Structure 1
Amino acid sequence: MGAGAKAVGGLRLFRWFSLRHLGSHWARTLAVLLGIALGAAVFTSVRLAVHATLDSFSHSMDRIAGNADLTLVRPGGRVPDSLVADLMRHPVVRTASPVLSAYVRPVERETPFLLIGIDPILDRELRPWRLPASARRQAPDWALLMTRPGSLMITAKLGDLLDWQPGRTVNLVHASRTAPFTILSEFEAQGLALVEGGRIAICDIATFQEFSGLFGQADRIDVKLVDPASDPAAISLQRLLPPGVVLRPPSARSQSGRSMIRAYELSLTFLSFISLFVGMFLVYSLVALNAAARRGELAVMRATGASRAVIFGLFVGEGAFFGITGWLLALPISSLLVNYLLTGVSRTVSMLFVRVQVDSLVLSAWEIMLSFGVTLLVAVLAALQPAREAMGVGPREAMDIVPTATIRPQRISRLAVVGVVLLALVYPVARLPSPPAVSLPGYLAALLLFIGFALLSPLLLRQTGRWLAPWLLRRGGQPAFLAAGYLRESGVQTAVSVGALITAVALFIALVVMIHSFRSTVALWAQQSVAGDIYLRPKLAELNRFRDPLPPRVVAAVKNLPASIDRVPIHCQELRVNGHLHFFEAMDYAAFRRRSRFVWMGGNAGRIEADLIAGKGVVVSEVFSNKTGLRTGNRYRVQIGEQHFDEPILGLFRDYRTRGGVVYYSLEHYQQRFGDASWSGVQINFNRRGPNLDAAIDRVRSALIDCCGETIEIIEGQSLRRTILRIFDETFAITTVLLLIALVVAALGIATTLAVLVLQRRVQINTIRAVGGSAAQLRRMIAWEAGLIVLAGQAGGWACGFILSTLLIFVVNRQSFGWTFLYRVDWPSLLTALPLIFAAALVAALPAVKLALSASPASLLRGGTRD
Structure 2
Amino acid sequence: MRGLLAGSLRYLRLFHWFSLRHLQGHMMRTVAVLLGIALGAAVFTSVRLAVHATLDSFGRSMDLIAGDSDLTLVRPGGRLPDTLVPALIEHPAVRTASPVLSTYVRPADRETPFLLIGIDPVLDRDLRTWTVQSSGQGADVQWGAIIARPGSVVIGARLGEAFGWRSGEQVRLVHSNRTATFSILAMLDRDGLALVEGGRIALCDIATFQEFTGLFGQADRIDLKIEPGMAADAKASLAALLPAGVVARSPSARSRSGRGMIRAYELSLTFLSFISLFVGMFLVYSLVALNAAARRRELAVMRATGASGRLLFCLFVGEGAFVGLVGWLLALPISTVLVRYLLDAVSRTVSMLFVRVQVDGLSLSPWEVLLSFGVTLTVAVLAALQPAREAMGVPPREALDIDPGTSLRPRLIRNMALGGVGLLALVYPVSRLPSPPSVSLPGYLAAFLLFVGFALLAPLLLRQFGRLAAPRLLRLGGQPAFLAAGYLKESGVQTAISVGALITAVALFTALVVMIHSFRSTVALWVQQSIAGDIYIRPKLAELNRFRDPLPSRVVAAIQSLPVPVELVPMQRLELDLEGHRHLFEAMDYEAYARRSRFIWMGGDAGRIEADLIAGKGAVVSEVFANSTGLNAGDRYRVQVGEQVLDVPILGVFRDYRTRGGAVYYSLTHYRQRFGDDAWSGVQINFSQRGAELREAMERVWSSLLTCCGETIEMIDGRHLRRAVLRIFDETFAITTVLLLIALVVAALGIATTLAVLVLQRRVQINTIRALGGSAAQLRRMIIWEASLIVLAGQAAGLICGFILSTLLIFVVNRQSFGWTFLYRVDWSSLLTALPLISAAALLAALPAVRLALSTSPATLLRGGTR
User: What TM-score, normalized by structure 1, do the two folds share?
Assistant: 0.99
Say how many residue pairs are matched. 866
Aligned AA (2:577): R
Q: How does 1:557-568 map to 2 (within 5 A)?
A: 557-561=558-562, 564-568=565-569
Q: By how many angstroms is 1:865 displaced? A: 4.5
SS of residue paired to 2:248: strand
How far apart are the structure 1 equivalents of 2:407 and 2:99?
Answer: 75
Aligned AA (2:479): Q
1:521 matched residue in structure 2: 522
Single out whichever of 140-149 and 429-438 deviates more from structure 2. Answer: 140-149
Is 2:726 aligned against 1:691?
no
SS of residue paired to 1:2: helix
Residues 157-205 of structure 1, C-alpha deviations (whole Å, 9 max, x = no match): 1111111111111111001111111111112111110000000000000
Q: How does 1:444-593 map to 2 (within 5 A)?
A: 444-561=445-562, 564-593=565-594
Stretches of 4+ moved more than 6 A in 1?
A: none
1:862 matched residue in structure 2: 862
Q: How does 1:669-818 map to 2 (within 5 A)?
A: 669-818=670-819
SS of residue paired to 1:140: helix
Residues 267-321 of structure 1, C-alpha deviations (whole Å, 9 max, x = no match): 0000000000000000000100111110110011111111111000000000000
Aligned AA (1:862): L
Q: By how many angstroms is 1:562 displaced? A: 5.2
Q: By how many angstroms is 1:398 displaced? A: 4.2
2:40 matched residue in structure 1: 39
Q: By how many angstroms is 1:154 displaced? A: 0.7
SS of residue paired to 1:692: helix
Unmatched runs of 5 consecutive residues or more in structure 1: none
How far apart are the structure 2 equivalents of 1:484 and 1:701?
Answer: 70
How far apart are the structure 2 equivalents of 1:754 and 1:225?
Answer: 70
Single out whichever of 344-353 and 234-243 deviates more from structure 2. Answer: 234-243
Residues 462-504 of structure 1, C-alpha deviations (whole Å, 9 max, x = no match): 1111111121111100000000111122210000000000000
Aligned AA (2:719): Q
How far apart are the structure 2 equivalents of 1:409 and 1:187?
Answer: 73
How far apart are the structure 2 equivalents of 1:16 and 1:698?
Answer: 81
How far apart are the structure 1 equivalents of 2:668 and 2:141?
Answer: 49
Q: By how many angstroms is 1:401 displaced? A: 3.4
Unmatched runs of 5 consecutive residues or more in structure 2: none
Query: Is the 1:601–1:653 Cα contact (8 Å) retained in structure 2?
Result: yes
Q: How does 1:196-275 map to 2 (within 5 A)?
A: 196-227=197-228, 230-275=231-276
Q: By how many angstroms is 1:686 displaced? A: 0.8
SS of residue paired to 2:585: strand
% identity of equivalent residues: 75
2:184 matched residue in structure 1: 183
Is 2:834 aligned against 1:848?
no
Q: By how many angstroms is 1:578 displaced? A: 2.4
Q: By how many angstroms is 1:695 displaced? A: 1.7
Query: Is the 2:295–2:404 Cα contact (8 Å) retained in structure 1?
Result: no
Q: By how many angstroms is 1:651 displaced? A: 0.3
Q: What RMSD, in angstroms, separates the aligned Cα atoms of the two structures?
A: 1.0
Q: By how many angstroms is 1:141 displaced? A: 3.0
Is 2:104 aligned against 1:83?
no
How far apart are the structure 1 equivalents of 2:399 and 2:315?
Answer: 21
Aligned AA (1:51): H
Residues 319-367 of structure 1, C-alpha deviations (whole Å, 9 max, x = no match): 0001100000000000010000000000000011000011210000000
Cα distance 1:615–1:744, how it changes in 2: closer, same or farther (>3 A)? same
Residues 368-403 of structure 1, C-alpha deviations (whole Å, 9 max, x = no match): 000000000000000000000000011222433323
Q: How does 1:107-506 map to 2 (within 5 A)?
A: 107-134=108-135, 136-137=137-138, 140-227=141-228, 230-506=231-507
How far apart are the structure 2 equivalents of 1:228 and 1:820?
Answer: 48
How far apart are the structure 1 equivalents of 2:845 and 2:391?
Answer: 29
Q: By how many angstroms is 1:136 displaced? A: 3.7
How far apart are the structure 2 equivalents of 1:19 and 1:460?
Answer: 34
1:51 matched residue in structure 2: 52
How far apart are the structure 2 equivalents of 1:555 and 1:577?
Answer: 30
Q: By how many angstroms is 1:839 displaced? A: 1.0
Query: Is the 2:564–2:701 Cα contact (8 Å) retained in structure 1?
Result: no
How far apart are the structure 1 equivalents of 2:140 and 2:520?
Answer: 58
2:634 matched residue in structure 1: 633
Q: By how many angstroms is 1:230 displaced? A: 2.8
How far apart are the structure 1 equivalents of 2:710 and 2:222?
Answer: 33
Q: By how many angstroms is 1:661 displaced? A: 0.5
How far apart are the structure 2 equivalents of 1:752 and 1:502?
Answer: 16
Query: Is the 2:534–2:719 Cα contact (8 Å) retained in structure 1?
Result: yes
Query: Is the 1:403–1:761 Cα contact (8 Å) retained in structure 2?
Result: no
Aligned AA (1:822): L
Single out whichever of 181-190 and 265-274 deviates more from structure 2. Answer: 181-190
Aligned AA (1:825): V
1:827 matched residue in structure 2: 828
SS of residue paired to 2:56: helix
Aligned AA (1:582): H
How far apart are the structure 1 equivalents of 2:338 and 2:793?
Answer: 33
Aligned AA (1:857): P
SS of residue paired to 1:183: strand
Q: By how many angstroms is 1:563 displaced? A: 7.0
2:16 matched residue in structure 1: 15
Q: By how many angstroms is 1:837 displaced? A: 1.7
Residues 61-96 of structure 1, C-alpha deviations (whole Å, 9 max, x = no match): 000000000000000000100000000000111000
Q: By how many angstroms is 1:642 displaced? A: 1.0
SS of residue paired to 1:540: coil
Aligned AA (1:863): R
2:28 matched residue in structure 1: 27
Aligned AA (1:648): P
Aligned AA (1:312): F
Aligned AA (2:183): T
Query: Is the 1:401–1:865 Cα contact (8 Å) retained in structure 2?
Result: no
SS of residue paired to 2:692: coil
Aligned AA (2:759): V
How far apart are the structure 2 equivalents of 1:543 and 1:605?
Answer: 33
Residues 247-277 of structure 1, C-alpha deviations (whole Å, 9 max, x = no match): 0000011111100000000000000000000
SS of residue paired to 1:556: helix
Query: Is the 2:98–2:224 Cα contact (8 Å) retained in structure 1?
Result: yes
Aligned AA (1:662): A
SS of residue paired to 2:121: coil
How far apart are the structure 2 equivalents of 1:781 and 1:294?
Answer: 26
Q: By how many angstroms is 1:762 displaced? A: 0.3
Cα distance 1:228–1:543, how it changes in 2: closer, same or farther (>3 A)? farther
How far apart are the structure 1 equivalents of 2:699 and 2:227?
Answer: 59
Aligned AA (2:40): G
How far apart are the structure 1 equivalents of 2:666 and 2:34?
Answer: 59
SS of residue paired to 1:433: coil
Aligned AA (2:260): S
Single out whichever of 131-140 and 143-152 deviates more from structure 2. Answer: 131-140
User: What TM-score, normalized by structure 2, do the two folds share?
Assistant: 0.99
